[in-house]
Amino acid sequence: MSLSDDPTCPFRASADQMILQTSWIFRINVIYSTLLSIGCFIGVTYCILFMRKHPIFHESTSVLLYLSLFFAVLHEVTHVCLQWSAMYRSFYYANDPCNIFFDSDDCFVTHKILLTGIGGMIYIHSALTLDGLDYTADFSSSSSSSVFVDQYLSAFNAPSYRARFDVQLQYQRTEAIMTSKAISILVIAQISSLGVYSGGSWLFRQAKDQIPVHLYSNLVIWVYAISYATVTLPLIIVFCIKYVRRHRQRTIHHITSHRESQQSRMDELKMLWS
């Protein structure tokens, strides 16, 4: 986009930009992004129903997961509306380089909403990490209110001899650890996706002068990883729920099907007192 002396056309698209904005590669990408958004909506609906049917997460964790789904939907709704507005301009202003692009006033609101959706997802993932640490530490010491103090006591194994034979407490600890592992999988996958996109975009901008205009624009629109992160978010949550439930079922099956013998009992006692 270049500046123009014409007051009615302050910004004029270049010839290459006109070709890119009216190309079928761009229009197919809009349709592809729409399909990703539809997949996100379907996945979020299924994920919410699945979470309500199988409430395995702590209450605070569930609230954060619902918020992350909300920000994902917020981003996708805004992104697909922006994409179809660009599609409309690519047809209606196909021969008008002055109006084929949005001006700053048109982009202000949508840009803020997109940043809100992306920032919300990042902050929620950070909150999930802290929430997982706090939830896991709840079972280490009932008299301590600090996560750091809990970890300090756990490191020295101070309360372990009291809780060693408390089956309910041991099971709760195992559940908390498994839930934290599931949340870690979710956070790592999402942050990695967003990090790859941010790093890739920075590298593209650094090497923009060495990359042909057509190749640069096509790469940028097809590797927009935020949409991939939003469409995979509900799928990863469902996977985490199934992962925890499968581990719980295996544990219950092991307990109910385990047959005691004198030798196995002696081995368990040796492990407990070692």
- pLDDT at residue 149, as a whole number: 41
Domain 11-257 has CATH 1.20.1070: yes
Residue ranges of the chain whose pLDDT lies below 70: 1-10, 131-177, 213, 252-266, 268-274
Q: Taking CA 213 as the corner, what is the angle to CA 211 and CA 217, rounded to the nearest 5 degrees?
A: 100
Model pTM?
0.71
Burial (CB count <10 Å: 0-12, 13-18, 19+), residue 199? exposed
Say what the pLDDT of residue 176 is.
64
CA pseudo-torsion sign 188, 189, 195, 199: positive
pLDDT of residue 48: 94
Instruction: State the number of CA atoms in the 13 A half-sphere of 220 facing the CB.
Output: 15
How confident is the model at residue 170, as a pLDDT?
Answer: 57
Q: For residue 163, what pLDDT is reported?
A: 47
Give the residue extent of every domain in the chain: 11-257
